[in-house]
């Protein structure tokens, strides 16, 4: 019913509208997981994954529409600047959706005051930021103090390793199922939101500071994942429409390689910001 109420075509002239869609869908995902699975002896232990699953289910119609529209234009794209000009609105829409997820997840995590809703996300963040003491980090839920367990160099390598893994995962998903990239969006939004909620000390008034603290590196990081998804879409559509014997095959490979290289550079930049710049500012 929701996909009928909110027409994806309305987004063509305003990517920022995805911000409100993100807030709505993330809120519904958390509340449904809370109402229907919080008291289940088995499924309550997987609440973090259930929340992301609901979010993916709600967003797939929008993601499918955007990916389909972008894929239709890929065949006429030549050069890096042309790629950006044609696809920038889609990337902006994804980033607005991501920000909507962040705000809604952070708000409801504090309001509901139920850490089980983000159990998998908190453990994941601890694994990245405190690889030497995951258990104690999870027990305390104090992400802001977890950096002392590892040197900056070890933390930087851990973040790069995780980000490259997610980048590869995004590429594979975009090749197999274009809309599958929404899982990466929802999962990363939920992980960052858990960190923001803890950093803000469970106070709603501190959420903007928490968002600023994590979005400094969060936006370039998620943008890199969407660039990767776009590269996978260009490659997949180019192969299907033109075949490997077409004169455009090398052009498709070139565009894909350029986009993946840019995505990798952006991921490294995001990791440098997270490890070396963010602690100075916050």
pLDDT band (50, 70, 90) for residue 143: very low
35-66 confidence digits (pLDDT tens)? 887 677 677 777 888 888 888 888 887 777 77
* Terminal-to-terminal C-alpha distance of the chain: 43
Per-residue pLDDT at 268: 92
Q: Which residues of 50-62 are buried (b: 16+ CB within 10 A; e: fewer)?
A: bbbebbbbbbbbb
Over pLDDT 70: what percentage of the chain? 72
The model's confidence at residue 195, banded by pLDDT at 50, 70 and 90, is confident
Q: How far is CA 15 from CA 25, 98, 99, in A?
A: 16, 12, 12
Between residues 21 and 206, the one the model is more confident about? 21
**pLDDT at position 144, please?**
37
pLDDT digits (tens, 9 = 90+) for 108-139: 888 877 767 777 777 776 776 655 554 555 55
pLDDT at 70: 66
Confidence of residue 14 (pLDDT cuts 50, 70, 90): low
What is the mean pLDDT of the segment spanning 92-100? Answer: 86
List of residues 6+ apart from 7 with CB closer than 8 A: none
Average pLDDT score over residue span 81-90: 73
Could you give the percent of the chain with pLDDT greater than 90? 6
* Number of domains observed in the structure of the chain: 1
CB of 81 within 8 A of CB of 238? Answer: no
At residue 146, the pLDDT reads: 42
pLDDT band at 155 (very low <50, low <70, confident <90, very high): confident
Average pLDDT, the chain: 76
Average pLDDT (139-159) is 59
194 is in which domain, residue-wise?
Answer: 2-7+14-281
């Amino acid at each position: 019913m929701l996909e009928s109420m909110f027409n994806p075509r309305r987004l063509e002239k305003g990517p920022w509208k995805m911000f409100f869609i993100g807030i709505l869908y993330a809120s519904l995902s958390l509340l449904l997981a809370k109402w229907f699975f919080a008291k289940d002896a088995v499924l309550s232990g997987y609440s973090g994954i259930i929340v992301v699953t609901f979010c993916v289910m709600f967003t797939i119609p929008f993601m499918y529409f955007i990916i389909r529209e972008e894929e239709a234009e890929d065949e006429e794209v030549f050069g890096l600047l042309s790629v950006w000009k044609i696809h920038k609105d889609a990337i902006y829409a994804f980033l607005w959706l991501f920000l909507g997820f962040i705000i809604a997840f952070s708000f409801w995590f504090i309001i509901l005051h139920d850490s089980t809703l983000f159990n998998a996300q908190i453990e994941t963040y601890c694994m990245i930021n405190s690889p030497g003491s995951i258990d104690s980090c999870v027990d305390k839920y104090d992400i802001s103090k977890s950096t002392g367990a590892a040197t900056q160099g070890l933390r930087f390598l851990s973040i790069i390793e995780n980000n490259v893994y997610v980048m590869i995962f995004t590429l594979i998903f975009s090749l197999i199922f274009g809309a599958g990239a929404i899982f990466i969006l929802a999962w990363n939004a939920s992980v960052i939101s858990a960190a923001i909620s803890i950093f803000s000390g469970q106070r709603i008034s501190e959420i903007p500071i928490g968002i600023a603290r994590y979005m400094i590196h969060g936006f370039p990081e998620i943008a890199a994942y969407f660039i990767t998804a776009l590269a996978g879409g260009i490659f997949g559509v180019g192969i299907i429409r033109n075949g490997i014997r077409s004169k455009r095959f090398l052009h498709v490979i070139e565009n894909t390689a350029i986009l993946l290289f840019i995505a990798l550079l952006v991921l490294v930049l995001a990791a440098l910001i997270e490890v070396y710049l963010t602690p100075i500012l916050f």
